[in-house]
Amino acid sequence: MNSKRLIVSLQLWRGKCIKTSKFEKNNSTYLGDVLNAVNIYNEKEVDELVLFDLEASKNRTINFELLSKISRVSRMPLTYGGGIDSLEKATKLLSLGIEKLNFNNLFFNEVDEFKKISNYIGKQSIVLSIDYRKEKNNYNIYYEGGAKKSTLTIRDIADKNIQQFIGELYLNNIERDGEMNGYDDSLLKNIYNDFKIPITVSGGFNNYENIKSIFSKYSIIGISCSSLFVFKGRKKAVLLSYPDKIEKEYLKQS
């Protein structure tokens, strides 16, 4: 795994690309056909593509046919999250060529099944999404699309007995999702050294200098952006973009 990764994340709803704001499906923008988006990002040589199927997360029904088409087209490493609640589904997804599986609900609802999957397929293919809100002075964890509040804390998840089942931690700032108001790294800087696994951060990135600031502070880090790479201008016209090779090298310089 590269020490610094600049990732594009796309949300799916009924097979189409959308972009939410603050995890609210009713406050989303339609982006177009996902296969078209994959082809565009292929040409832009994206480090990694992450797909979140919001419908699958809700209904627990994965669109394997669509994911098979995406995997065949994609020349980028793929991570998928949404509706993965069994070993059978996990192994089927990997058989399609998807490299990593992103979990959220299963970890909080059925942690034993989560551990079973990790033990079988290997933690290198396991990503745990932590969706959080900063409320007063606390960072509270949510699941089920941000609807349910967990009793677990970030420190609980940093426990070595939990980390042994996780290959990567993916931090989602719910309140900054889709807002493009700058990434707040106050949580990251407090917990970065508690984890012995790679961390990817998401939520609020609004320009390249914001990205460079995080890359300059952390030697091993993934930055996952959506709005920054799908919108342009104050009116948020849909335009899929990504830094070119020279820009990306600049951003990743320490």
User: Active-site residue numbers?
Assistant: 131
Backbone φ, ψ for residue 167 (5° rounding): -95, -20
Question: β-strands 100-103, 4-13: how paired?
Answer: unpaired
Q: Give the CB-side neighbour count of residue 155, counting CA atoms within 13 A.
A: 3
- Residue 24 CA to residue 119 CA, distance in Å, equals 33
The structure tokens 């292929």 sit at 42
Strands 16-21 and 148-149: unpaired
Question: Can you tell me the distance from the alpha carbon of 34 to that of 51, in angstroms, rounded to the nearest whole number?
Answer: 10
- Three-state SS at 167: coil
- Tokens representing 38? 């994959």
Closest C-alpha among 127, 138, 139, 115 to residue 170: 127
Q: Which amino acid is at 55?
A: E
β 48-53/126-135 pair status: unpaired
Residue type, 206: N
Phi, psi of 153 (to 5 degrees): -110, 170
Q: At what angle do helices 64-73 and 34-43 cross, to 10 degrees?
A: 20
